[in-house]
Structure 1
Amino acid sequence: MSHGFPGFAIRWLSAFALGAVVSGGVLAADARTVEWPVYGLDSANHRLAPITAINPKTVGKLVPKWIYQSGVTGTFQATPLVIDGRMYVSLPNSHVVALDARTGQELWRYEHKKRVERICCGPANRGVAFAKGKIFVGTVDARLIALDAATGKLLWDVEVAHPEAAEESRNSLNADDRLKDAKVSGASGVGIASAPLVFEDRVIVGVTGLGYGLHLDSPRAGAPLGAVVGLPGQFGGIGFLAAFDVNTGALQWKFDTIRHPEEGGWEGEFRDATPDGMPLNRNIAAERAGAEKHRNAWQFGGGSIYSTPALDLKTGWLYFGVGNPSPQMNGDGRPGDNLYTSSLVAIDGRTGAPKWYWQQVPHDLWGYDVTSPPVLFEATVKGAKVEAVAQASKTGWMFVHERSSGRLLYKSEAFVPQSNLFAQPTPEGITIAPGIGGGVNWSPAALDVSRQLAFVAAMHWPTQYSVKEIPAEGDKPAVPYYAAEPSQGERWGVLAAIDLKRDGKLAWTTKTPQPLIGGVLALQGGVVFTGEGDGNLSAFDSATGKRLWQFNCGAGVNAPPIAYVIDGKPYVTVAAGGSAIWGYRQGDAVVTFGLPD
């Protein structure tokens, strides 16, 4: 049996106080203490809490226990940690607070001072890590910071990526005054959105936003992003995952998410279909003809890290997704498959050495980043046990791979509608589903070991892809560009249960009024939780998908819920702060629920 999937509930041992990251244990469900010590609850990213007191019969009794208002309003995507009775929460703009997990009382607060004001990708931070008495947070200005977990005192602060590395890109993107007339804005830059991961003596973190590019402004305040724009040119940068010493912050290794020429190059095989056989409608001949002219395009290739890796403690391997290439959507100047972008990647967590990759979308033109955190589990394929890694994709499938080789074992049934998938943009515009948002965006899935069900929070939000042009003006030639704009059709969310016993058949799907962005929590008692942009946190029956309970938190619930037990009392907590990019109401609250005393 895989180390990451015990057949019984989880005990969080005192090893966590020493900085170890474990994914199994032996404590019976509903013990007097159940913690949430790492981003995914365990190193395998299961998000399955060993709690049975909250179940389909009792979940309707949940009531608010405490509400903490941080005073920082902004896109709020954090997974809180709960360790030794304390809750550690990263706030928008990389501030961090420690709270009493029983009452919500603030114990200490770290206020982050950004070194640059123009950040690339918004204020959101998805969580912190804990090890050896320290709290680690990656910041919006691409720094990694260690805090004393007892006091919040700053212990060390290191630069992960230099913000000015994006300055040339920013200037090239914004130099043309005609972009202002087209209501195009935005910037390239670099930050850290994902929660760090601690493995042995290393803090591992990935950068986000190199090559972020531009967008069309929304026509009204509070509305979703108007469009994402892909312009031709050499701008963006190189994304990477890196490891730093827990005690000093010294760099230990760095893995670039663009494959360098000396490693074989990022052009790849010039595939005309995805590895699972979906046609990509590429003009391979034209790409090959332009390969020499654009041989340095890899230097500006992008490849952001949006989520925390899964960790196989037995091998020390890390599994993580990589974002789309840059320039986004516009592939004219980046011939080839653009490795390792839009891929699931495995590397050695001790050295950063690559092990394998599987590119979901070669030469990505649609923004199909591999963003949701991978999950490790033991699959049964044709009667044989296989240690596997699964990833819920933006394209609408969950891909399940052999963990040692990357070989595709199977992909699930599609959990969202799919139409015109991988169609090329047109001047008239073509509507594609899933659109640029997914499918499953960065939202983490949950995996119920005993039921062999994976739960994903997804969206149906079709996108119109089109080819547009900034008109010629004086001696400035016309500039063609690509735009991905939300379609005017109906949109909704999908909470889906994927049956891992039946090679990814859908056990059930539940349609929600709001597209789902935030993530899933599963409880061993047989309920799953997810939130919506209208402020509702809801609980569903794990077996049927029936909605059992709902509470409106006053702002968009666009963060993953967690659960824990203190003094024998179970709690469910979620950050309610909305999301600007989706147009969901913003707030500043951490809301905690429990059963009546």
Structure 2
Amino acid sequence: MESGRLILSGIVAPLALVMALAALAAPDSAAQEAFSPSELTRLPTDAWLTNGGDLYNRRYWPVTAINRDNVAGLKGVWRTRLGGSGLARQYSGEAEPIVYDGVLYIVTGANDVFAIHIDTGEIVWSYKADLDPTISTICCGWTSRGLGFGEGKVFVGQLDGKLVALDRHTGQVAWSVQTERWQEGYTITSAPRYYDGMVITGYAGAEYAARGRVKAYAADDGSHVWTFYTVPGPGEFGHDTWPDDNEVWQHGGATVWQTPAVDPELGLMYFSTGNPGPDFNGAVRAGDNLFSVSMVAIDVTTGEYRWHFQQIRHDLWDFDAANPVVLFDVEIDGVVRKAISEINKNGYNYILDRVTGEPMLGMDYVPVPQEVRQATADTQPIPRGVTAAPVTIDIAPEGAVLLDEHVYVPFWSNGDGEARVVGTRSGANWPPSSYDPQRRLLFVCVNERLSYYRANEDETDMPPLGERYMGGSFGGVGMPTTGVLAALDVTTNTPAWRQRWPDRCYSGSVATAGDLLFTGRSDGRFMAYDSDNGMPLWEFQTGAGVNTTPAIFEYEGEQYVAVFSAGNAFASSPRGDSVWLFSLNGTMDPVEAPPPSAFIGRARGGGGTAPAAEPTAPADTVAPAAPMGLPNLDNGATLYGLVCELCHGADGQGGHADGAPITPGLTLPEAVSVVTEGRNTMVGFGGALSADDLRDVSAYAIGLVEE
């Protein structure tokens, strides 16, 4: 105790506030907060109880208090910084807030959880995950996309494979379960789904020889309820779509790394799945590879299979169905249909009848180019309609070969002087879409970009669990990536409007009955757009990349909008550690825009904390010339995994963030200069790494691509 204040989890909170919250935790409070399926299915009008706003993942606010006529008056109410959690270079802030009973809950990329009081912006309690800094099976940045909530608990899925339940009043651990081991490739990046006494989670890990699965646990004590495997085993439906002469199915990917949706009336849970493993070498996994890159429905109570629709047969391009599925009821030709939609990385939006899994607006099964060494599928299903961004290419980039203008371009090893094969990747990633039921519009965030592809024909052996298992690589081709924010009419699957951005679109959205669409930008702006045409109506500079999804709620008669402003490793956006709250009665003005390369915090550090939310050096400061002594390659390898691998890949040939292959033949001083100052679309790390670190990581990168 000091000055009448109580220390909770390392955070100082007012004693009166803590006592008041504790008083709310009566014995029956958990039962009262066992939100019914009908409560969680209704559109939110006060609290934001679940990731996605409701069980349908619609992310729609049906109240008009903030609208297109008055949104220009929206200002900040408070800004709360989270003590530097998740500031280090490897972390991304992607979490959607949960709001209930005057408290906002948020999780950082370090998997630390914070409870913040709406009245004051003060941190009530915090939970520190203390992740093992040596976790080596994280594909695409250390992150968490949100929390589950119910029965008086906050549920967090962690990168170390733990599912943890926290008392919502105090932050104390109610139970913790080691659901899977990160050493075997399993990490949790999505928000758990609370439903009818269960907590349901999927896993990332398709790049690390994992076999996809979804698991349900009892919300009261963490006991296991059921498991559904997204790669069928022997004797199960779909197993015959994998080879019978090897055990690749045990490493077959098809992971579920976004939050499922639920239709309580049908008793079904829906999710989409990731790429098969290995990503780029299809030779070892001949067949359609169910249930990879599919939309799947299972019985939510038992976890039993009900139906599936495979978007891409025998995927070779890492075209995960990464965007969270959205459920909606819509009238088409005078009949109200129960629909489900998911927009893929390939750019196509798939709209199905969620009762049967059949295409709702038609599907064409189109012959595609063949590569016998890749065991390519003969045809691919193409949804009828018009894509949000172009999915064809008519001119090859310099130094590349164009084998086909369409998205399903085949490729092989690209060795012995072969030109690189390129194709489009003009689709959506994880940033969630939102649905306006009045306009019948699905708002999507996609990107126009090109990638090259290369298979590793020598990678045929089955790796141990947790080992890198990609079978090749892909990466950028030195061309700019542009974002597209689009509204798709779900009755025709065609754009109602599209707006092209000069930078990447990498943020989720929430639509409102006030004719608004709220979303973020990588440059730190939080934006409101007109739902009818996509024109910007309001912007607010938050100081760090807004690469997440907002939450909207009502508290004591006033409407608020909350968003996490923390930046993103994938988008290379400026870092921060702030939660912002906005209302029409706010008084805070925007802050100064951050420099594009202002990375906050050090590149290392297990918890990702920094003493203050300020850059370690000005963005325009170039570190002193690195000493050209003997590099520490062990340190270089560690740093490369944290700050380089996401873009350039484990082998330096390109990674998930579309970085170009590392240029061979660089001297150490030349490489240090590039890493320090940046080049083309790559930002510099002179303000985030020490001179020794710059030397070490540069030397390691050179070694990856030595001839």
- Give the TM interval when normalised to the shorter protein: 0.7 to 0.9
Q: Would you tell me which structure has more helix in proportion to its own residues?
A: 2
- Structure 1 residue 51, shift from structure 2 partner: 2.6
TM-score (norm. length: structure 2): 0.68
- Structure 1 residue 15, shift from structure 2 partner: 8.9
Quick check: 1:78 aligned with 2:95?
A: yes
- Structure 1 residue 297, shift from structure 2 partner: 1.1
Quick check: 1:100 aligned with 2:96?
A: no
Q: Would you tell me which structure has more strand in proportion to its own residues?
A: 1
After TM superposition, the structure 1 stretch with the greater mean CA deviation from structure 2, 76-85 or 564-573, is 564-573
Match of 2:134 in 1: 117
Within 5 Å, give how 1:420-435 maps onto structure 2.
Answer: 420-425=406-411, 427=414, 428-434=419-425
- Structure 1 residue 261, shift from structure 2 partner: 2.2
Q: Which amino acid in the other structure matches residue 348 of structure 1?
A: D
Quick check: 1:364 aligned with 2:318?
A: no
Distance 1:374 1:519 in 2: 13
Match of 2:245 in 1: 293
For each residue in 1:392-430, what CA deviation from the matched residue of structure 2 results, as whole angstroms up to 9, or x when unmatched? 221212211111110011244200111230101252122
Distance 1:567 1:480 in 2: 51
For each residue in 1:31-89, what CA deviation from the matched residue of structure 2 results, as whole angstroms up to 9, or x when unmatched? xxx11000011111111112312111111111121111111113010011000111011
Matching residue within 370, 388, 401 for 1:415 = 388
Match of 1:340 in 2: 291
Quick check: 1:58 aligned with 2:31?
A: no
Q: Which amino acid in the other structure matches residue 536 of structure 1?
A: R
Aligned CA RMSD, in angstroms, stands at 2.2
Helix, strand or coil for the counterpart of 1:18? coil
Distance 1:117 1:317 in 2: 38
Quick check: 1:256 aligned with 2:268?
A: no
Helix, strand or coil for the counterpart of 1:212? helix
- Structure 1 residue 367, shift from structure 2 partner: 0.8
Distance 1:481 1:240 in 2: 21
After TM superposition, the structure 1 stretch with the greater mean CA deviation from structure 2, 411-420 or 199-208, is 411-420
Quick check: 1:238 aligned with 2:211?
A: yes
Q: Which amino acid in the other structure matches residue 92 of structure 2?
A: T
Quick check: 1:394 aligned with 2:345?
A: yes
- Structure 1 residue 136, shift from structure 2 partner: 0.7
Matching residue within 11, 33, 40 for 1:17 = 33
Q: Which amino acid in the other structure matches residue 19 of structure 1?
A: F
Matching residue within 257, 274, 279 for 1:328 = 279
Helix, strand or coil for the counterpart of 1:372? coil
Is residue 281–residue 457 contact of structure 2 (8 Å, CA) maintained in 1?
Answer: no
Distance 1:447 1:588 in 2: 29
Helix, strand or coil for the counterpart of 1:299? helix
Quick check: 1:549 aligned with 2:516?
A: no
Q: 1:312 to 1:25 in 2, by over 3 A?
A: closer
Distance 1:267 1:536 in 2: 49
Matching residue within 305, 319, 324 for 2:256 = 305
Within 5 Å, give how 1:425-464 maps onto structure 2.
Answer: 425=411, 427=414, 428-434=419-425, 439-464=427-452
Matching residue within 35, 38, 48 for 2:60 = 48
- Structure 1 residue 384, shift from structure 2 partner: 2.1
Matching residue within 453, 466, 482 for 1:465 = 453
Q: Which runs of 5+ in 1 are unaligned?
A: 1-13, 167-188, 214-235, 271-290, 472-478
Distance 2:217 2:133 in 1: 22
Match of 1:212 in 2: 207
> Which structure exhibits the higher relative contact order, with contacts defined as CA atoms closer than 8 Å and separated by 6 or more residues?
1
- Structure 1 residue 267, shift from structure 2 partner: 4.4
Is residue 202–residue 256 contact of structure 2 (8 Å, CA) maintained in 1?
Answer: yes
- Structure 1 residue 383, shift from structure 2 partner: 2.9
Distance 1:493 1:81 in 2: 27
Q: Which amino acid in the other structure matches residue 34 of structure 2?
A: L
Matching residue within 76, 92, 107 for 1:90 = 107
- Structure 1 residue 159, shift from structure 2 partner: 1.1
Distance 1:503 1:101 in 2: 41
Match of 2:572 in 1: 583
Is residue 492–residue 514 contact of structure 1 (8 Å, CA) maintained in 2?
Answer: yes
For each residue in 1:552-573, what CA deviation from the matched residue of structure 2 results, as whole angstroms up to 9, or x when unmatched? 2221111011111112222211
Distance 1:313 1:240 in 2: 21
Quick check: 1:377 aligned with 2:328?
A: yes
- Structure 1 residue 237, shift from structure 2 partner: 2.1
Is residue 444–residue 519 contact of structure 1 (8 Å, CA) maintained in 2?
Answer: yes
Q: Which amino acid in the other structure matches residue 535 of structure 1?
A: G
Is residue 455–residue 495 contact of structure 1 (8 Å, CA) maintained in 2?
Answer: yes
After TM superposition, the structure 1 stretch with the greater mean CA deviation from structure 2, 460-469 or 40-49, is 460-469
Match of 2:679 in 1: none
Larger radius of gyration: 2
- Structure 1 residue 348, shift from structure 2 partner: 0.5
Match of 1:286 in 2: none
- Structure 1 residue 25, shift from structure 2 partner: 4.7
Is residue 381–residue 409 contact of structure 1 (8 Å, CA) maintained in 2?
Answer: no
Is residue 266–residue 340 contact of structure 1 (8 Å, CA) maintained in 2?
Answer: no
Q: Which amino acid in the other structure matches residue 422 of structure 1?
A: Y
Q: Which amino acid in the other structure matches residue 230 of structure 2?
A: T
Helix, strand or coil for the counterpart of 1:525? coil
Distance 1:548 1:370 in 2: 31
Q: Which amino acid in the other structure matches residue 433 of structure 1?
A: T
Is residue 562–residue 582 contact of structure 2 (8 Å, CA) maintained in 1?
Answer: yes
Q: Which runs of 5+ in 2 are unaligned?
A: 1-29, 362-382, 393-405, 460-468, 587-707
Is residue 429–residue 467 contact of structure 1 (8 Å, CA) maintained in 2?
Answer: no
- Structure 1 residue 103, shift from structure 2 partner: 2.8
Is residue 34–residue 196 contact of structure 2 (8 Å, CA) maintained in 1?
Answer: no
Match of 1:153 in 2: 172
Q: 1:377 to 1:247 in 2, by over 3 A?
A: same
Q: Which amino acid in the other structure matches residue 20 of structure 1?
A: S
Quick check: 1:494 aligned with 2:490?
A: no
Is residue 47–residue 522 contact of structure 1 (8 Å, CA) maintained in 2?
Answer: yes
For each residue in 1:108-164, what CA deviation from the matched residue of structure 2 results, as whole angstroms up to 9, or x when unmatched? 001112357314223200111111111111001011101100100011100111233
Distance 2:328 2:457 in 1: 47
- Structure 1 residue 489, shift from structure 2 partner: 1.6
- Structure 1 residue 513, shift from structure 2 partner: 2.0
Match of 1:139 in 2: 158
Match of 1:565 in 2: 554
Question: In percent, how many aligned pairs have the same letter?
Answer: 33
Match of 2:497 in 1: 508
Match of 1:537 in 2: 526
Helix, strand or coil for the counterpart of 2:119? coil
- Structure 1 residue 254, shift from structure 2 partner: 0.2
Distance 1:447 1:481 in 2: 37
Matching residue within 190, 197, 204 for 1:194 = 190
Q: 1:46 to 1:163 in 2, by over 3 A?
A: same
- Structure 1 residue 198, shift from structure 2 partner: 1.2
For each residue in 1:172-200, what CA deviation from the matched residue of structure 2 results, as whole angstroms up to 9, or x when unmatched? xxxxxxxxxxxxxxxxx221011011111
Report how many aligned residue pairs link the two structures: 500
Q: 1:326 to 1:468 in 2, by over 3 A?
A: closer
Distance 2:492 2:224 in 1: 41
Helix, strand or coil for the counterpart of 1:94? coil
Distance 1:470 1:200 in 2: 48
Q: 1:15 to 1:58 in 2, by over 3 A?
A: farther
